[in-house]
Amino acid sequence: MMLMICYDITDDARREDVAALLSGYGPRVQLSVFECEVPGADGARELRAALRQRIDPLVDQVRIYPMTQATFSERYLLGARTVEERADYWIVR
């Protein structure tokens, strides 16, 4: 299942935590937007639960848009700019 996930998170630490989580599911296509692939409805539920644990629901917002393979392949990209991941730090857990 393909998902487009975008977020507006006020706290730097929470925002970085969400970005790290989402980077395991797919590419970052804008600063706060990821195209994620999850294994079916169960994978989507697990990802939503993981996101819920990482945000403050009173001040943050995450939007999840499910896409089919057909609609995903019909997306339009205008412009050549790509988001470059920062290479000057490591995430260690």
By residue count, the chain amounts to 93
Q: In this structure, is residue 65 part of a structural domain?
A: yes
Split at pLDDT 50, 70, 90, the class of 6 is very high
**Domain residues for 39?**
2-73
pLDDT tens, residue by residue, 30-55: 999 999 999 999 999 999 999 999 99
pTM assigned to the model: 0.83
Q: Is 92 inside a domain boundary?
A: no
Q: Residue 61: in which H helix or E strand, if any?
A: strand 61-67
We report the CATH number of the domain holding residue 28 as: 3.30.70.240
8 is in an annotated binding site: yes
Number of domains in the chain: 1
